[in-house]
Amino acid sequence: MYRCLSVLATLPLWLAAQTAPAPSDQIHLAWTRDSATTITVVWRTMDASVPSTVEYRRQGESRWRRATGGPRPSGTEGRLHEVLVQGLEPTSRYEYRVAGPQGSWSAVYSFLTAPRPGGSFEAVFVADTGLDGRLDGLSTGTREVIEAVAKLNPTVILWGGDGAYYDTDKRFGTLDRTIDYWFNMVMPFAVKAPIMPTYGNHEIFLKEGYLFWADRFPTPEGFDNRRYYSFDVGDAHFVSILAADSESGALPETVLRWIDADLEKARKSGRKWLVPYLHVAPFSDGSNHPSNLDYRRQLGPIFEKHGVRLVLTAHDQSYERTFPLRGVPDKIEITSNAKDCFGASDGTVYLKVGPGGKQSNINRGFANFKTNPPPAHTAFRDNTAHHFARLIFEPQSVRVQIFAVLRGKPEWVQDEFLYTLGSCGGR
């Protein structure tokens, strides 16, 4: 299905619009409740009479079990289905299939439930994909990034926003049809792991709109109509922060209070890894999208107060990683000049991971850096490839791998480091 859709992206709009969708498409997973024992399944059928039914079984079992749900209101054509599956076993692989027209079923897919605290799991962070086959040629890595992520087996996908770039890509007519295409495009990984979004400037400001996207993504309730929410996976606590103002613009005080309280609650509950993720970067030396200093000023002290060690961001079309930092924003201290290992006494590492497939409309390429040599707080940076992050959580450590992707080449790990709650040998 995916390669057929990739071909459709290059066809004229009138022809693509006449091509019938699959009986069940836009299949994707989410978490709205306990990540270790539940999963939420979403898909679309053009036939609105299809029941909202999922069949599932633990891998190795022969008997299918059933769960039912109902329609999820959205702007898509046909019917968007949503089913909550409960009573699953932690750290277990399940197979599932979704109902289609006339009693049919989709292909069989599988996912891995989250561990309880003390278990291991993997997460992927990816953003700024754009749609493949853009007529301006800027989606130079979209298909390749999707295929590379799909090769992995993450427990969760953290999506960092800027999916469709509808302001400069209207091949599919309406925004809702454009979003339809995005969900079908990412199905190679969306069927394998929950996608937990935060939204970017394109979803919020540039001829799109928050609800168009939020209506498609089930998430925990969180705060301000799900613009901010959090969830736990094993020993990790993830916080999705809608921070989409490009270079300036602060978050409301009510939001800051919610973030502060959320991180405090997670810390007191014993979560070892507090991982905020947001679209616009507080630390960016990019010429297209420099640092948002308001976010740096507001969020830095909150993150430090609660012992946040990793912050995931995107937005600029390049990759940057800081050394672990304290004293943000006024008295920034680099707690370690090591490149590959940080210990329990170190500060916060800020990562700007991008782009995830689409190059910039501003300079029609990867972003140029403003400062050469890099700022003193920079541990690693690159603006020659597309990027996504893989985070491998173990009971006492997180290993971060940054994959670089270029068309015509196998993806490779370009940057890697370990953050441990113990100590790094030799330090």
**Is 5 part of a structural domain of the chain?**
no
Secondary structure (3-state) at 347: coil
Q: Is the pLDDT of residue 13 over 60?
A: no
- The phi and psi torsions of 388 (rounded to 5 degrees) equal -145, 160
Judgement on whether residues 349 and 221 belong to the same structural domain of the protein: yes
Binning pLDDT at 50, 70 and 90, where does residue 187 land?
A: very high
Task: Give the pLDDT of residue 426.
Answer: 55
Most distant CA pair in the chain, distance: 65
Judgement on whether residues 27 and 159 belong to the same structural domain of the protein: no
Bridge partner list, 230 = 239
Measured between alpha carbons, how far is 57 from 380 in angstroms, rounded to an integer? 44
Token duo for residue 333: 């201290």
For 203-241, the pLDDT digits (tens) are 998 778 999 999 999 999 999 999 999 999 999 999 999
Cβ atoms of residues 258 and 226 within 8 Å? no
Judgement on whether residues 220 and 286 belong to the same structural domain of the protein: yes
What sections of 269-322 are H helices per DSSP? 293-305
Judgement on whether residues 83 and 152 belong to the same structural domain of the protein: no
Q: What mean pLDDT is predicted for residues 119-124?
A: 98
Cβ atoms of residues 277 and 239 within 8 Å? yes
Q: Is the dihedral of CA 360, 364, 367, 371 positive or negative?
A: negative
Binning pLDDT at 50, 70 and 90, where does residue 16 land?
A: very low
- What CATH number has the domain bearing residue 83? 2.60.40.380
Task: Give the pLDDT of residue 22.
Answer: 82
**Is 16 part of a structural domain of the chain?**
no
Cβ atoms of residues 311 and 347 within 8 Å? no
| Positions of E strands within 59-197 | 65-68, 70-71, 79-85, 93-98, 109-112, 121-126, 156-159, 195-197
**Is 12 part of a structural domain of the chain?**
no
Side-chain half-sphere exposure of 413, counting CA atoms within 13 A: 8
Judgement on whether residues 169 and 282 belong to the same structural domain of the protein: yes
For 233-279, the pLDDT digits (tens) are 999 999 999 999 877 789 999 999 999 999 999 999 999 999 999 99
Residue 181, H or E segment: helix 175-185
Judgement on whether residues 76 and 145 belong to the same structural domain of the protein: no
**Share of residues in the chain with pLDDT > 90 (%):** 90
Look up the pTM and report it. 0.94
Task: Give the pLDDT of residue 246.
Answer: 75
Q: Is the dihedral of CA 100, 103, 107, 109 positive or negative?
A: positive
Q: Which long-range contacts (CB under 8 A, 24 or more apart) does 219-224 make?
A: 219/30, 219/31, 219/32, 220/31, 220/32, 220/33, 223/255, 223/258, 224/254, 224/255, 224/258
- What CATH number has the domain bearing residue 413? 3.60.21.10
Domain that holds residue 239: 121-420
Neighbours of 222 (CB within 10 A): 17
**Is 146 part of a structural domain of the chain?**
yes
Judgement on whether residues 350 and 379 belong to the same structural domain of the protein: yes
Judgement on whether residues 341 and 396 belong to the same structural domain of the protein: yes
Binning pLDDT at 50, 70 and 90, where does residue 23 land?
A: confident
Judgement on whether residues 33 and 129 belong to the same structural domain of the protein: no
Q: What mean pLDDT is predicted for residues 373-385?
A: 98
Binning pLDDT at 50, 70 and 90, where does residue 20 land?
A: low
Task: Give the pLDDT of residue 9.
Answer: 38
**Is 389 part of a structural domain of the chain?**
yes
**Is 411 part of a structural domain of the chain?**
yes
Judgement on whether residues 161 and 101 belong to the same structural domain of the protein: no
Domain final position from 89, 112, 135: 112
Token duo for residue 147: 């295929």
Judgement on whether residues 413 and 386 belong to the same structural domain of the protein: yes
**Is 280 part of a structural domain of the chain?**
yes
For 283-323, the pLDDT digits (tens) are 999 999 999 999 999 999 999 999 999 999 999 999 999 99
**Number of domains present in the structure of the chain:** 2
